[in-house]
Amino acid sequence: MIADVEAVISTVKNKTLRRIGEKVLEEKRIDEEEAVALFKEADLTFLGVLAEHINRKKNGNRAYFIVNRQINPTNICVYQCDFCAFGVRKSDPQSYEMSDEEILRKVEETYRMGGREIHMVGGIPHHWGYDKYIHLVRLIKENFPQMVVKAWTAIEIHHMAKISGRTYEEILKDLIDAGLDAIPGGGAEIFSERARMIISPNKANAEEYLEVHRTAHRLGIPTNATMLYGHVETVEERVEHMAKLREIQDETGGFQVFIPLAYWPEGTRLGGNRTSSVDDLKTIAISRIFLDNFDHIKAYWVTLGEKVAQIALNFGADDLDGTIEEERIVHSAGTNSAYGHSVERLVSLIRKAGKVPIERDTFYNTVKIYD
């Protein structure tokens, strides 16, 4: 049963929260100050009621997943961000680089299982030239034309601009020509300059990340957006991050989904603690309430864990990402979720959350309804 939202709001004594509740009912946008108040003053159940009210309006009782695979062609990375336990130097005994044959074997495996999407991102090695990034997209698309290639974060694309002297537009056109279909949301981390200087001072900054996405949208390439939270950022900085995304979405409409990524500290130079489940659910819910121009909020089971991701489907999220098969980035930092999941497991997680599982493609078109 869906809560009687009006009744819940009418019982709220805190005036700011009650006003926010009324805005949600009237389908009015909340401002940054109000979003901060939600983080600081609202309890979890209130946030869940508001967020799920919005989610049901946008997505009904549907919750999405995709049959996909993540491929990280290398973990060698020049940037060495302090929050990341995945990227290593070339001299590190753990470093690896996949051959073309290895990549194609993985794509073929996924294709045989009915996979729809290859999500390819990785480290950024010093010795890779511009052509390598174009080649890997073309390699997959030429051999598996039906596969959607969602590849290279804005960080990789900015790096390609640095090493080639090309503009974002020229690079994206080359990638589209090679077969690129979409851009994942990774690399956003947190836009606040203060926090970014602590956790990843060397790579593309917020403006550069956002400009890559804006350019992709202009060229008709849909993109996703993430936010890494739970490290050194304040709740004000989380809201500032989401506000920047909301502004671009107003301009372009090119973001498909927002994905809050809970920080995992193990093996990182930054250290720190894991997020709490309450913080995870609050962040999902507030993002659903604040990002009124985003259709989808992803509960990424890799960072949330399967159980919290399942509950998040009742706190404003409508998507679990996918089967993934071999997640490496967050596993390097200690997540205790699985490396991948079967379709049956994702369908069961969604059903037990009280939602109808929908297998989707990268662009949120329905592939199959599991009624």
Question: What distance lies between CA 10 and its chain's CA centroid?
Answer: 34
The footprint of ligand V47 on this chain (CB under 6 A) covers a number of residues equal to 22
Return the HEC string of 24-88: HHCCCCCCHHHHHHHHHHCCHHHHHHHHHHHHHHHHCCEEEEECEEEECCECECCCCCCCCCCCE
Q: Are the CB atoms for 356 and 65 separated by under 8 Å?
A: no
Q: At what angle are helices 32-41 and 15-25 packed, to 10 degrees?
A: 120
Looking at the Cβ atoms of 42 and 330, the one nearer to ligand V47 is 330
- CA nearest neighbour of 298 among 283, 325, 318: 318
Q: How far is the CB of 360 from ligand V47 (least distance, A)?
A: 12
- E-assigned strands of 212-365? 223-229, 255-262, 296-297, 319-322, 356-360
Looking at the Cβ atoms of 48 and 222, the one nearer to ligand V47 is 222
Q: How far is the CB of 244 from ligand V47 (least distance, A)?
A: 16
Window of 41-49, 97-105, 133-141, 222-230 that interacts with ligand V47 by CB under 6 A: 222-230
User: Helix or strand or coil: residue 159?
Assistant: helix
The whole-angstrom separation of Cα 195 and Cα 284 is: 20
- CA nearest neighbour of 192 among 138, 140, 250, 239: 239
- Binding ligand V47 by CB under 6 A: which of 133, 300, 301, 315? 300
**x/- binding map, residues 256-285, to ligand V47, per CB under 6 A?**
---x-x-xx---x-----------------
**x/- binding map, residues 153-192, to ligand V47, per CB under 6 A?**
-------------------------------xxxx-x---
State yes or no: residue 228 binds ligand V47 (CB under 6 A).
yes
Q: How far is the CB of 117 from ligand V47 (least distance, A)?
A: 9
State yes or no: residue 321 binds ligand V47 (CB under 6 A).
yes
- In sign, the C-alpha dihedral spanning 200, 336, 117, 297 is negative
Looking at the Cβ atoms of 189 and 359, the one nearer to ligand V47 is 189
- Binding ligand V47 by CB under 6 A: which of 47, 85, 103, 349? 85
State yes or no: residue 226 binds ligand V47 (CB under 6 A).
yes
What is the phi/psi pair of residue 325, to 5°?
A: 70, -50
State yes or no: residue 330 binds ligand V47 (CB under 6 A).
yes
- CA nearest neighbour of 116 among 350, 357, 296, 367: 367
Q: How far is the CB of 187 from ligand V47 (least distance, A)?
A: 5
Looking at the Cβ atoms of 226 and 283, the one nearer to ligand V47 is 226
- Binding ligand V47 by CB under 6 A: which of 192, 224, 283, 337? 224
Window of 107-115, 202-210, 279-287, 326-334 that interacts with ligand V47 by CB under 6 A: 326-334
Window of 7-15, 79-87, 90-98, 101-109 that interacts with ligand V47 by CB under 6 A: 79-87
Residue 319 token pair? 């998507």
Amino acid at 216: A
Window of 25-33, 82-90, 202-210, 247-255 that interacts with ligand V47 by CB under 6 A: 82-90
Looking at the Cβ atoms of 224 and 314, the one nearer to ligand V47 is 224
Q: Give the count of beta carbons closer than 10 Å to the beta carbon of residue 5.
A: 17
| Chain contacts with ligand V47 (rule: CB under 6 A) | 83-85, 184-187, 189, 224, 226, 228, 259, 261, 263-264, 268, 300, 303, 321, 329-330, 333
